[in-house]
Each structure stands twice: as C-alpha cells, then as structure tokens.
Structure 1
Amino acid sequence: MTITVPSLPATGIAPERFKQIFRNHPAGVVVVTVDAGRGPAGFTATSLTSLSLEPPLVSFGIGAGASSWPHVERATGAVVNFLGADQEELARTFATSGIDRFAAPTRWRRLPGGDPVLDGVTGWLRIDIEQIVPAGDHRVVIGRVQESWSAGARSPLLFHDGGYHSL
C-alpha cells in the first residue's frame, strides 16, 4: 500500500507566517561580539543554541546581509554575552544598524586574547569559530567554547512576541 503525503510548495511557508509562528516562541537574548582586525563589531541574537557537550559547541545564526556579517565571516573567534533582564537597552543598541554600538554608554573591554566582551553581562562564552554553514539568507556559526564566565544567578533577558521580557 502506498500512502501519498501532500507536499509543501517548493518555497515553504510565507515569511510573514514564519515570523508569526516564532513570535510565540520565547528566546534568550545574547550579544555576539567579534574583532577580525578592523575594530569591534557585534549584534543582538536570539538564535543561540547549545549544540554539543563533548566537545562543547554552540551555534548561532546571523543574516548574510547584516552589517556585522563581514566581521563575523573574517573572525576566528567570538564572545557570546548573555544579557540580564535589566539590559534591554544594550540589546536594542546592538540590534540597531548604522551606529557605533561600542560607543558610550556601552561599557566593554578586551579579554587577554583581544576579544571584545561587554561589561555587566550575566555571563559570557569565548568561542573559536569552527564552521560557518550557509542556511538560506542566514549563516549558522558553530563555535567551540574555550572559556566561560558567569556572574551567578540573575534573571535573563528574553525576547517574545516582538518585545523584551524577564522571568
């Protein structure tokens, strides 16, 4: 017996429908920072995923048209900065195009290896970029965690239904 399964159109669902579905899925908010030799760059992301325990791998997505993409593409490492519930303004700063995201009032410093890290975050992961995978209009960056730091228990910043929230 053969079962016929209706197929989806080659293009899948419409972009607006895709966004509508994911508006109901809460996500943690991070800022990814890099420096590929042209000064610090960074962007706000909600796509961070723990990918593997052995070895410790994480992944995140970045739009191929994003202003930070050329920096990430050339970088060998990055820092994933976890934001606390009180850091909505920092998330908005790193989500805004056409500005110097590292200018005051943003507080940041460099780790011993030169990677930019944001001050006052709830924690961070320093990663070596191992692989970049094309995925539609985005790129999936896979990084091996080399170092971490945590400020301890603090309420995280979440993104849900088009806005920032806390637990």
Structure 2
Amino acid sequence: MTVSAVSPGPPPGIAQDRFKQVFRRHPGGVVVVTVDAGRGPAGFTATSLTSVSLNPPLVSFAIAGTSSSWPHVEAARTAVVHFLDAGQEALARRFATHGADRFAAPTKWRPLATGEPLLDGVAGWLRLGIEQLVPAGDHHLVVARVVDAWVDTGRDPLLFHDGAYHPLRTRTDLGHALPHHA
C-alpha cells in the first residue's frame, strides 16, 4: 500500500461571498453574551452558540478578533449567554451595533452576585466558566462550562436568517398552543 504525498499548506477555501451566501440561508438562534472582566460590562450579539458536550456541560460561541468586546472576553473568567425571545430584536440590534453604549438605557440589567452582567427580561440564560479560547481564523472560539442556568419555557425564540431577525412563533397570539399533528 502506498501513501500519497500531501501538498504543503492549507487547501484553498471558497470565496468569502459564497461562504456568506451559504450561511445566510442557515438560520441561527440569537443570543447576547455579556462579561465583566473588571473593566465594566461588555457584550455582543451572537448566532454561533452551540452545545458541545452534555458531560461535562459545555457550550461554545465565536467572537471576531476585531470586536470591541474581544479584549473583555479574552480577560474574563466567566460569561453569561442570554437567549432572546421573539420580541427582543431591538436588544439584539443594540448589542450588535459597533460603538453603542450597550448597557445604557433602555437596556435593563443588573450584576449577578458573582459579578456578571445579567440582562432583564430575556427568555433564558446560562452562566459560564470560560475554559478555552481557541484562535480560529479571524475569530476566537470560546469553550465554556455551564455552571448555572435559567429558562422561561413559555417564550418564543428570535432567529437570524438571510441578514434579518425573525421571530419564531410557536403559539397563537391568544397564547394557546398550536394543534399538534401526528
């Protein structure tokens, strides 16, 4: 059996426009990640949250190396991921806006007893202990252990798809569950 030689260097990638086009068609749940590494609260909107492991409970998310929040995340030991509901597009946009004071009014928040910024009125949250920061192209992948969680199961999620925010409605406006079809 012969082994063929591997060419040196990484294989060529696809064009950035094509890469964006493909992922614009893939919907993502919208979260806001907040940290406080001792320099005041920082946070950003993300669609990259992924569950990684059940045992131990690990998640990951990505952040651009050019993000104003990156130095805060890099220095933080903990973070909070906030799950946004279908009616929180304004909050998602605020935390996605470069140069905005994201924690000024109308944002309502408070520090947890452990110091992390917690946004009021979200559909759920995870408090995380940051375990790894992995360079990944022009981003950094953050791997973190879930140490606490809260969820309001009666809320519908906010999604990002094709460059826009979209509510995912699982109930009627009357608050009744939609009929289940077998």
TM-score norm. by structure 1 comes to 0.94
Segments of 4+ moved more than 3 angstroms? none
Question: Which residue does the alignment assign to 2:46?
Answer: 45
What 5-or-longer segments of structure 1 have no aligned partner? none
> Displacement, 1:98?
0.7
- Supply the distance in 2 between the matched residues of 1:31 and 1:143 (Cα, whole angstroms): 15
Query: Percent identity between the aligned chains?
Result: 70
Name the SS for the 2:37 alignment partner. Answer: coil
Aligned residues: 163
- What letter corresponds to residue 144 of structure 1 in structure 2? R
1:32-111 correspondence runs (5 A): 32-111=33-112
- What letter corresponds to residue 112 of structure 1 in structure 2? A
Question: Which residue does the alignment assign to 2:145?
Answer: 144
Question: Which residue does the alignment assign to 1:131?
Answer: 132
What 5-or-longer segments of structure 2 have no aligned partner? 169-182
Task: Report which of the two structures shows the higher radius of gyration computed on alpha carbons.
Answer: 2
Question: Which residue does the alignment assign to 1:114?
Answer: 115
> Displacement, 1:166?
1.4
- What letter corresponds to residue 96 of structure 1 in structure 2? T
- What letter corresponds to residue 101 of structure 2 in structure 1? D
> Displacement, 1:151?
1.8
- Supply the distance in 1 between the matched residues of 2:139 and 2:100 (Cα, whole angstroms): 22
TM-score norm. by structure 2 comes to 0.86
Question: Which residue does the alignment assign to 1:18?
Answer: 19
